[in-house]
Amino acid sequence: MYNIKTKEKLDIAQIREIFTSGFKPVETHKIGIEYERLPVFNDTYRAVPYEDGVCNVLRTIARDDNWDYITDDFNIIGLKQNHDTVTLEPGCQFEMSLEPEFTIKKLEEKINAFNKKIAPILERNNMKLLEYGVSPVSTHKSISLIPKKRYHIMARYLWGILSDVMMRETAGIQCCIDFESEEDLMKKFETASKLSPFITAMFANSPIRGGVYTGYKSFRALSWLNTDNDRCGFAGNLKKEFSIDDYINSVLDSPMIFITRENLPIQINGRITFRDFMNKGFEGFEAAIEDFELHANLYFPEVRLRNFIEIRNHDCVGKGLQYSLLAIYKGILYDKYAISEFDELMQDFSVRDITELRYNVPKSAMQSKIGKYMVSEIAPKILEIAEKALIGGGYHEDYYLDPVKEYVEKGICPADVIIRSWHSVWDKDINRLIKFLTE
């Protein structure tokens, strides 16, 4: 029997505490990364399946390096070691979520150490992890979901013509930022939301999918534009004076997918919003704080609020660009003068301009128009603001911007290099793409 009653009625104050529990003194603020990569076979570059593939790699890592299993109905879906995790996204994408650190260098050292340890394991299993935004050969029709109940429920529910692509084919990088107070949180949230489309453009890295050129520079970003607009996009529509309560209202008013009781799913499939659930219940079940936490994790705005700020919409990149991405956000969001300078840079653009940019970036990236400018004209100014803040930040991290500077100075993104080579010296040879991504 399901336990249909909860100990106390859920109220907004309990929900609010999830977010306010993240208030931290400025001197303790750190930066975090969630870093997804695509497991492919060395010979065919097809996506590696869960059974007799990625699952075996997880088992070996756990045995050789003393990681604990994360399971779902006894199926291994990830690993945990202290506060670091390696988990699988729906299509077996490898995600590293590292405990936040004061410096980008510490995150880089952790990732490099992990890569060194797993390199022989991947080689023995005829695999590599690609730093790229979308599966280069396999498409969602040939990529099975991992055995995690949540993903199967999501796959059946999420509407949008590219939701299967998003779940099974794509890999991204997310940046995690701390905040001091509600005022600090909401200013960073607003800034990150406006900055996000520009960063998506600067790091676009997924033009080749299924072995062909798609016509887009970030097919991964395109897939998010076509995945369930009830729970994607900009939370709060970038309105001024945005508050924690406004964010909560955005989550409350989105349709629910499911809840769990006694580790079993009860599917709701969009029939009610979470606000309805709080006010009226659902088929005898009453809302609990765990239900809100689950529902909030199934809400996918460009910038997501937890007890930290999670900035989500960027293609997976490598060759040092992953740290450039972190450096831009760290430089701007952790310096009040940099935030003010970015505000000045954005003063000529309306909310509509920013929203339209989000829709233009997947196809045009750095050549996207915003107002009377192109992103390629704005990006150098963003780097200048970030660089100045990083130089004054005490950790001398401005050198992490060097990899992205090489692109921005030319007005291009990683996808532009791939597209140009694909249609010329590579002669549409997928082997050349993989070599470029891994050399």
For 128, the enclosing helix (H) or strand (E) is strand 127-130
The string of pLDDT tens digits covering residues 211-221 is 999 999 999 99
Contact 256, 272 (CB under 8 A): yes
**Separation CA 273–CA 291 (nearest Å):** 12
Percent of the chain with pLDDT over 70: 97
Helix 244-252 vs helix 12-20: crossing angle, to nearest 10 = 120
Determine the distance from the C-alpha atom of residue 289 to the mean position of all C-alpha atoms in its chain, rounded to a whole number.
24
DSSP assignment of 369-406 equals: EETTEEHHHHHHHHHHHHHHHHHTTSS--GGGGHHHHH
**What pLDDT, on the 0 to 100 scale, is given for residue 3?**
43
Name the pairing type of β-strands 212-213 and 208-209. antiparallel
The answer to whether residue 302 scores a pLDDT higher than 60 is yes
Residue 87 has pLDDT above 50, yes or no: yes
pLDDT band at 239 (very low <50, low <70, confident <90, very high): low
For residue 242, the model assigns a pLDDT of 83
**β-bridge mates for residue 310, sequence order:** 176, 304
Sign of the alpha-carbon torsion through 391, 392, 393, 394: positive
Q: Can you spell out the DSSP letters for 142-179?
A: G-PPPS-HHHHHHHHH--STTHHHHHHHB-BEEEEE-B
| Dihedral sign (CA 142, 212, 437, 226) | negative
What is residue 365's DSSP assignment? G
How would DSSP label each residue in 341-355? Answer: HHHHHHTT--HHHHH
Q: Residue 1 — very low, low, confident or very high, per pLDDT cuts 50/70/90?
A: very low
Q: Tens digits of per-residue pLDDT, 4-14? A: 444 468 999 99
Region 93-120 average pLDDT: 98
Q: What is the mean pLDDT of residues 38-62?
A: 97
Asked if residues 259 and 297 have their Cβ atoms less than 8 Å apart, the reply is: no
Residue 300: how many other CB atoms lie within 10 Å: 19
Q: Answer yes or no: is pLDDT of 2 > 80.
A: no
Dihedral sign, Cα of residue 237, residue 241, residue 247, residue 252: negative
The phi and psi torsions of 178 (rounded to 5 degrees) equal -90, 170
Give the pair of three-digit tokens for residue 293.
Answer: 């936490």
* Segment 310-334 mean pLDDT: 97
Residue 330 has pLDDT above 70, yes or no: yes
Nearest to residue 256, comparing CAs of 239, 283, 277? 277
Mean pLDDT of the residues in the chain: 95
User: Looking at the predicted structure, is the pLDDT value of residue 438 above 60?
Assistant: yes
Tokens of 208: 């080749």
Q: Which of 198, 109, 219 is nearest to 376 (CA)?
A: 198
Can you tell me the distance from the alpha carbon of 408 to that of 268, in angstroms, rounded to the nearest whole number?
A: 46
User: Is there a contact between 217 and 204 (Cβ–Cβ < 8 Å)?
Assistant: yes
Which residue segments constitute the domains of the chain, with CATH numbers given?
Answer: 22-256+289-438 (3.30.590.20)
Looking at residue 8, what is its pLDDT?
A: 67
